[in-house]
Chains A and B, each alone.
Chain A
Amino acid sequence: GESVGLHLPTLSVQEGDNSIINCAYSNSASDYFIWYKQESGKGPQFIIDIRSNMDKRQGQRVTVLLNKTVKHLSLQIAATQPGDSAVYFCAENAGGTSYGKLTFGQGTILTVHP
């Protein structure tokens, strides 16, 4: 089937818990990072972004942390809800003149149990 050989990192949490999804990036020259959420059968949906001159940025229930020293990005979701269940992708600017040209990381499956 389609999923043979595909093993994405998974995170299972209870409703109301906080979730932390991690991502390692490889290009030390990347200066812009984004988190996307993809629900089953849909296209990715923008969550939050951060530029390399920052190490933290907060949105509504979400926080992105950037550690350039170890090339690590994380997404924190507060008070996780069942509607947060999805695959989460980090992405970085792949270079060029457009920030829309992105290199996506491997997704993480988040499952929220009621």
Chain B
Amino acid sequence: GEEVAQTPKHLVRGEGQKAKLYCAPIKGHSYVFWYQQVLKNEFKFLISFQNENVFDETGMPKERFSAKCLPNSPCSLEIQATKLEDSAVYFCASSQFTNTGELFFGEGSRLTVL
């Protein structure tokens, strides 16, 4: 597609439950990024992919967070055993090249952990 599509737009989970978010990058874009935005301000890089391969996962809290980009499927970000501090908007972005910071962001998925 011409836009990065993220689902669901809103997700509410009780503490300890699992949350799974999805992202369809722009067709033809090889790079996918996940960012976390807390309190409408701070963005935190989580992970990036080059096609189905993890490119950089230095931002991932590895204990509970995992992500995949499988061929012919939307990319996913999964949080096991959610905590209150996981409440945030999770943005997926894609780009065609690695030598640019021009990322195309989706509209985000708002996760609320109660």
Residues A44 and B39 in contact, CB atoms below 8 Å apart? no
B42 is contacted by which of A34, A101, A102, A104 (Cβ under 8 Å)?
Answer: A104
Question: Nearest chain A CB to B100's CB is how many angstroms away?
Answer: 5
Residues B41 and A8 in contact, CB atoms below 8 Å apart? yes
Contacts of A99 in B (CB 8 A): 98-101
Residues B107 and A42 in contact, CB atoms below 8 Å apart? yes
Residues B39 and A101 in contact, CB atoms below 8 Å apart? no
- In the complex, A43 has a CB within 8 A of chain B: yes
Contacts of B41 in A (CB 8 A): 6, 8, 106-107
Number of B interface residues in the complex (CB < 8 A): 28
Closest B residue, CB atoms, query A96: B56
> Can you report 29 A-B residue pairs in the complex whose CB atoms are below 8 A from each other?
A2-B40, A3-B39, A6-B40, A6-B41, A43-B91, A43-B93, A44-B93, A44-B105, A46-B101, A46-B103, A46-B104, A87-B40, A89-B43, A96-B58, A98-B98, A99-B99, A99-B100, A100-B98, A100-B100, A100-B101, A101-B33, A101-B45, A101-B48, A101-B56, A101-B59, A102-B43, A102-B103, A103-B45, A106-B41
